[in-house]
Structures are given as C-alpha cells and as structure tokens.
Amino acid sequence: MINTSFLLFPFQVAGRDPTEQLVSPEPEVTVFARDHEKDEFLVLACDGIWDVMTNEDVSDFVRHQLRIHSNLETVCSSIIDTCLHKVLDCSTALLFLIPGHFIASLFIAA
C-alpha cells in the first residue's frame, strides 16, 4: 500500500498550510437537517462518483436499483460501474437505508 502523503507529494507547495495546497486533505462536508418524512437513504461517495453523477442522478439510480433488488452491495457496485464507464477514477460508494422508510415503501409498491 502506498502512503497518501507520498502520492500527494508532487502537489505540495512549500510554505503553505495543508488546506492551502493544490490537493487538500480537508473533506468537503455539508450538513442538512433530516426530513424524517421524506429521507429514504444516505449515499456517501468520493469525487469519482460525484464528478460523474449529480445528487439527483444518484438518488434516482438508487431508487431504481432498489426496486429491482434489495442487495445494497449490488446497488453500490452498480453505481461504481456506471461511473467507471464514463471516467476512470477511484470510486467509492456507501449506501445506508433509513430504517422503515424505503423498505416499507418498497414492499408496498411491490
């Protein structure tokens, strides 16, 4: 395994703080208030996903996949495969279902 600091070394500029570098180790975090009536799932993904798909694209994709099957690993793999067909980049996706909401509506719709 190659250390991340080794990989980022070519992008480091002497005299700058870590957050001022060309490649920053600081994550981009956005906090939203939960909507307990509408929230179905949470997707955590890296830029390899978000550079290819919008929030709406991922949400629609996940909803569609969950209507076909309930295997979360398969859904995440499908997201990654879809993005890799468009751009070869490191891709990671995690999917968390909000308890009760989507599962209940999935079985009612079926």
Q: Is residue 77 part of a domain?
A: yes
Quote the mean pLDDT of the chain: 79
Written as six digits, the tokens of 23 are: 């490649």
Largest CA distance in the chain: 59
Q: Is residue 76 part of a domain?
A: yes
Is pLDDT of 10 > 50?
A: yes
Q: Is residue 30 part of a domain?
A: no
How many domains are contained in the chain? 1
Q: pTM of the entire structure?
A: 0.68
Task: Return the number of other C-beta atoms located less than 10 Å from residue 87's C-beta.
Answer: 11
Residue recorded with tokens 């209940």: 104
Residue 51 vs residue 2, higher pLDDT: 51
- Residue 87: domain span: 38-110
